[in-house]
Amino acid sequence: MNNATPGGGQSHPNQNAANSTNYAPHLPKTVTLANPKRRLGCVSLAFLAIMTFYSARLIDLQLIKGPSNALAAQNSRIETRNLPALRGSFTDINGVVLASSMKSRHITADQTKIKRPEVTANLLLRYLKIPKKQLVASLTGDRQYAYVAKRVPMATWRKISDLGIAGIFSDPATTRVYPSGSLAASILGYVGDEGRGLGGLEEYLDKRLTGIDGKSTVEQVKGREIPTSEKQTVASKDGLSVRLTIDADLQGMAERALAREAKKAGAKSGNVVVMDPATGNILAMATYPTFNPNKPFKSNDLAKQNRAVTETFEPGSTSKIMTMAAVIEEGALNPKSKMIIPSGIPRGGTTFHDHDPHGTLRLTLNGVLAKSSNIGSIMASEKIGQDKFLTYLQKFGVGEPTGLNFPGESSGSLPRPGDGTWSGTTFPTLAFGQGLSVTALQVASVYATIANNGVRLEPRLVAGYTDDQGNFIENERVPGVRVVSAKTAKTVRTMLESVVSANGTAPGAQIPGYRIAGKTGTANKYTSSGGYSGYTASFVGIAPADKPELVVSVIMQNPVNGHYGAIVSAPVFKQVTEYALAHFKIPPSASKRPTLPVTW
């Protein structure tokens, strides 16, 4: 019997045996399902943990750190820009601008954004006068803020800005400008790179001239202002402007005349001071050499000094009017007093002589001044004694501050008995203008005192100030001090007219139509090493002598082509005074010069 498989096929013998002995039907396995509530709980816990973390983070960012983060984000967009105040200007008495400030820009660079410094430099060189090597160096590196050029005019910056160069920016700044160049430079001084006054009135009045900077706060993104952002601005407040007492036209004329004659005389330096004796106002104050305050560092220190107030010297014979005023005020002598002048006079172990040798002369006190006799001056001063004499010198302002308070101003010097500088020859030398030291301004002030009928006024260079609202505040006037009587002052002025007469030492200082009073001076120049070398040549005059409106002082230091005041200084006096008389429309003298005797 055959074994057959279902379906009619035959099976393998071994397979059949196996199947017969091991066959058992396959039963399904039992699966136990997890509790769905437990699984849902785990998922919920995980979700809750995640949500708690993010919620805490959100609370931290939004509530706890939110305000500070928002402020930090805003601050990252905020830029505070300085708004520089303009420095106050200087004008002359008539409003002519001598110094002013204008808005400008500091050009800066973010070097990290400049990929081709050479190319950028070539673009900038169209508008900037800077050596290319220096320009490339300022554009090269990894600094995000580097100066390229300082105080560039606004018009120039606009042209550069229009180029749209990546990495080139600017900051607001101001530039000091002196439109007339060297005019009144020794008075004005100059301003340094940091915008501070470094000389003259720029230095002395720096706090008044300097304004208060403002600021502007804006939001920006990538260097561009957000149009809808809130802008906060604190306006700047400009500094006070200064109105000087000088007249720009007269100042310019005085500077030109001084420079021309100083060069002709080969003088090392010189100065001119013009004063209004009735007010103490300084109408002009010129120095030679001078400098251009627009380029102050291209001049030496001598050129930048206002030597009319800083340089001291022995005045020589221009000082003799103090001797004359003192003895006349004390009633010891008068212009017609007769004096016998020997060829020499021994005092303190030294014999004093006049500048020109002579025998015995018969001069009046007026003649002593007209002929500028040193011997006669010594004899006159001895009529009142050294103590009274010294008192008058001090009252005239010798050895005392003038009150101008100009930077570096000197008070001069006046020796006193017992101070270690006094000797047997001091008193006689003081009588004719040596042994003491003064400034050119002090000399002018002495003559202004005589011109102002014996009342000494403080010199004034600042008429007043104008604030940023246009209000003018006049500078305070200090009451004058009487030195001698009006009668004595008038007498001395008349005596000074003899100096410019045909019988005096400076007839060339006469001006047709005007009575001129003046005095020459030629003094040996004392050196810092001791002894004397060179000369100080001077001429100081009053015009008109009958109704004084001008005092003009001219000082020349170390002239080599002539050294007498009448030769090198009087010509400057005449040129400046003639111009000033016409400029201020001062009428000619209505009377002739009185005649005082010179000899007897």
Catalytic annotation, residues? 317
CA 119/CA 105 separation, integer angstroms: 22
The one-letter code for the residue type at 175 is T
Residue matched to tokens 């919620």: 55
Per-residue exposure over 495-518, b if at least 16 CB sit within 10 Å of its own CB, e if not: bbbbbbbebbbbeebbbeebbbbb
CA 306/CA 8 separation, integer angstroms: 141
Find the helix packing angle between 385-395 and 320-329, rounded to 10°.
110
Query: Considering Cα of 288, then 289, then 293, then 296, what sign does the dihedral take?
Result: negative
Tell me the two tokens of residue 503: 């019988």
Collect all residues with Cβ–Cβ distance below 8 Å to 99 and sequence separation of at least 6: 89, 90, 176, 177, 178, 179, 188, 202, 293
Beta strands in 265-395 (DSSP E): 269-275, 282-288, 338-341, 345-347, 350-352, 361-364
Burial of 164 (0-12, 13-18, 19+ CB in 10 A): exposed
CA 131/CA 124 separation, integer angstroms: 11
Residue matched to tokens 């003038």: 402
CA 520/CA 500 separation, integer angstroms: 9
> Within 10 Å of residue 20's Cβ, how many Cβ atoms?
8
168-177 vs 532-543, strand pairing mode: unpaired
| Cα separation values, 574 from 261, 567, 590, Å | 12, 12, 20
| Residues forming beta bridges with residue 283, ordered by sequence position | none
**Contact call for residues 227 and 162 (beta carbons, < 8 A):** no
Closest CA to 306 of 478, 481, 182: 182
Closest CA to 158 of 216, 107, 120: 107
